[in-house]
Structure 1
Amino acid sequence: MPSLNDPVKLPSGLVFPNRLVKAAMAEMLGGFWNVPTTSLLKVYEQWGKGSWGGILTGNVQVDINHLGTPFDPALAGEYTDPNSNKELVATWKKYADACQEHGPPSIVQLCHPGRQSLRIAGRRGPFASPIAPSAIPLDMGDGFLQRWMSWFAFPPPREMTQADIDLVTRQFVDSARLMADAGFSGVELHGAHGYLIDQFLNPKSNIRTDAYGGSAANRAKFVLDIFHAIRAVVPPTFCIGIKFNSADYNSASFEDTMTQIGLLAEAGIDFIEISGGTYEDPKMIGPPGQPGQPQPQPQEQKSARTAAREAFFLEFASAVRTRYPNLILMLTGGFRTRAGAEYALSQNACDLIGIGRPAAVDPGFAKLLLDDSLSEDEAQLVLNRVAVPFWAKWIPLSAVGAGWETSYYTKQIQRIAKGLRPYLPV
């Protein structure tokens, strides 16, 4: 049976020393200038000491005009080369060194939010439209309050022109080149959670009739062009992965989804991280349930059935494995115990285990799971659902509860950056 302690070698040659990867989470530590701040470096130094097989950073936006949150680190302009941009490379090298000083290879999650760029985020101005493959606004619900809040937070997008597509492609490539020159081990293209790449892949948000729309292959052209352009300009040992949504797709579009994954595999993607959800339907936060409802207690987490339920997207990952057995798969979402992680490996559903929220309250959570001297009851971290304030329950938006949950763990990350002890939700 595969062990959590096993190393994993990617097609590029990069090796993760074990199967546990610190997953990407929102840190909100880019400051007003959207750069890697001292606080950001401090929290990654702690994760770097945590015995993780690999570290995924939070979102690094490829365009400072289009941010997911006001404090995301971002590329501020065109990147040419390390000689012409010495100060820029030096700034990001500090980030790479903080992540990797204690050994784990670190992958930068590159992102463009597309239509999910908050009105107040980015330097395009609060009244400028975000961009998207098609001019389809976010749908937070049919009620007046839902539609008004959606419009207030996310301006309706405009459809991208070919010039827009060429620019964003170049921004992804420039960002990847910068990360390679700064010393990171690779990049992950954020193609999930409703961000721009996912918007192109998904027929619900992409109704284009040109080369980027229509068939599953056409909808994948945007990300495949980005991948090939990056691969052409970075070292062969530099990893390129992708985070891919599972939750957007129903049985009717399942074959389209498998087609797109097959195209990524054929292109030579290093790994695919299986996640899911969007701002409209935030499945990445967890299974349905009332805010404040506790997760199963330790004594309930011993059965195989419970271990299987721990991984949010296990079934989808298993389906991908059946179709593409040679793909390196990372499964992220819901892992809280060694038993749950080992169960996913035993089912051959994945090669790597992505862990987010437990790492926000225990930067060394990987050590806990890797320590064979600890019992199953000890090798876990039970997290209750974060209770939302009473007023939030009157707002008919699922994103409010999801945002509150995300905000809670972002605050724990910021406590780590300040040298303070994180605390568990109660």
Structure 2
Amino acid sequence: MPSVLNEAVKLPCGLVLPNRLAKAALAEALAGSENTVTPTLLKAYERWGRGGWGAILTGNVQVDVNHLGQPYDPALHGEYTGKAGNEPLLARWTSYATAVQQQHGSPGIVQICHPGRQSVRFAGRRGVFASTLAPSAIPLQIGEGFLARGLAWLLFPAPREMDQADIDRVVRQFADTARLMADSGFSGVELHGAHGYLIDQFLNAKTNKRTDAYGGSAEKRAKFLLDIIHAVREVVPAGFAVGVKLNSADHNSSTFEETMTQIGLLAEAGVDFLEISGGSYENPKMLGLDAPKSERTLAREAFFLEFARETRQRFPSLVLMLTGGFRTRAGAESAVQQNVCDIIGLGRPAAIDPDLPKVFLDDGLEDEQARLVLGRVPMPALARLLPFKGVGAGLESNYYAAQIKRFAQGLRTIAPGL
């Protein structure tokens, strides 16, 4: 009997995903010092493009080259005014879209992002002493104690509270980036509203202390994201998907209803899908470093499954993608069969095996064979002594970025802990 994972998923915009397995966004660190499309980046996505994915989500494409999450993120270098007069730029991004999807049919969806206060001091072209941007001037805290505070100061400049001109400019940058991706031939974009980046900073009461139209209530904190969605819709074709990645891990019982209110606003805005993830630089739960290891948790696999279940109950028509922790076909099938989500996001497993859908969708394989076991990335002894979680998260991210580079170069990947 064919796996439920082999079923197609039709998004509200009309885009059809040929199956339920999506290669989730990963930091590739392959855009070089020019922060643009490189041959190695293209080779990585050509390899994923042959893997049989229902959708391929790219790593972060930053909407402003002055504000990068990592030094080697691809980014928009200036205002995009359309195809006329931008032929070289369009050719570069069209080669990216072609590598992702046009040869093998997996829709390519570009994750577009602004890091806000999580822009590392040495990443981007604003200058090492320039401030980062944030809804409120709240510095990043990556741990307790003098050492953690010193490292936070070294890595992350103090943020500046955005004024209306800043907000309008960033909204326009998101729209420009989405328009360029649509003109290049991609099938959609995902607005990165998780992991502590700028959209998440606006959504979250911990980082948004504004008293104007963009803060003070759950609805007002969502205005920045809603403005971006509306601006993007105005410049992309009707069949172009617009999704959102949303944080779940930072919300406790006291803020849960506010989060549900914001999801309701996204549903009303007509987003094509909602990806549920979680964590930030301050608390990197998207990597599962602190995930409990009970038999019940291991059986259900997904880190954010309960949050997705509640979202599904309240918004049954919203297309949900759940990312984080899936390692077996049985676990992925269970999440879909329980009607918790529509799309299964696979991140780190996709960096180790770019052909993983061919394993999960092979009816000839028993469940015990349709799995990918990953151990922990080894942490040097000195790093274990440092008083902040971000060290482990950084090592994890760098390890899997190195595996992406390996298979882009035709080399065998190495699963951690094996």
Identify whether the pair has TM-score above 0.5, normalized to the shorter chain.
Answer: yes
**1:139-164 CA distance string (max 9 Å, x none):** 12230001111111111100001000
**1:353-373 CA distance string (max 9 Å, x none):** 000111101100111001011
Q: Is the 8 A contact 1:2 1:345 kept in 2?
A: no
The counterpart of 2:329, out of the listed 338, 355, 363, is 338
- CA apart distance, 1:307: 2.5
The counterpart of 1:362, out of the listed 333, 343, 353, is 353
Which runs of no fewer than 5 residues in structure 2 stay unpaired? none
Q: What is the rounded CA distance, in whole Å, between the counterparts of 1:44 and 1:419 in structure 2?
A: 12
Give the aligned partner of residue 407 of structure 1: 398
Question: Does structure 1 residue 231 correspond to structure 2 residue 223?
Answer: no
Q: What is the rounded CA distance, in whole Å, between the counterparts of 2:297 and 2:236 in structure 1?
A: 43
Give the aligned partner of residue 89 of structure 1: 90
The counterpart of 2:149, out of the listed 147, 150, 170, is 147
Mapping of 1:21-420 within 5 angstroms? 21-100=22-101, 101-288=103-290, 306-308=298-300, 310-420=301-411
**1:301-332 CA distance string (max 9 Å, x none):** xx876321x10000000000010000000000
Distance change (3 Å), C-alpha of 1:175 and 1:224: same
- CA apart distance, 1:42: 0.1
| Structure 1 consecutive aligned stretches of length 4 or more whose deviation exceeds 4 Å | none
Residue type of the partner of 1:183? Answer: G
Residue type of the partner of 1:236? Answer: A
Count, aligned residues: 415
- CA apart distance, 1:383: 0.3
Q: Is the 8 A contact 1:287 1:312 kept in 2?
A: no
Q: What is the rounded CA distance, in whole Å, between the counterparts of 1:307 and 1:55 in structure 2?
A: 26
Question: Does structure 1 residue 425 correspond to structure 2 residue 416?
Answer: yes
Residue type of the partner of 2:23? Answer: K
Distance change (3 Å), C-alpha of 1:355 and 1:149: same
Q: What is the rounded CA distance, in whole Å, between the counterparts of 1:76 and 1:212 in structure 2?
A: 27
- CA apart distance, 1:289: 6.6
Secondary structure at 1:252 match in 2: coil
Q: What is the rounded CA distance, in whole Å, between the counterparts of 1:425 and 1:276 in structure 2?
A: 22
Q: What is the rounded CA distance, in whole Å, between the counterparts of 2:96 and 2:106 in structure 1?
A: 13
Q: What is the rounded CA distance, in whole Å, between the counterparts of 2:143 and 2:107 in structure 1?
A: 41
CA RMSD of aligned residues (A): 1.4
Q: What is the rounded CA distance, in whole Å, between the counterparts of 1:73 and 1:136 in structure 2?
A: 27
Which runs of no fewer than 5 residues in structure 1 stay unpaired? 297-302
Q: Is the 8 A contact 1:2 1:346 kept in 2?
A: no
- CA apart distance, 1:68: 0.4
Give the aligned partner of residue 17 of structure 2: 16
Secondary structure at 1:58 match in 2: coil
- CA apart distance, 1:240: 0.1
- CA apart distance, 1:84: 1.7
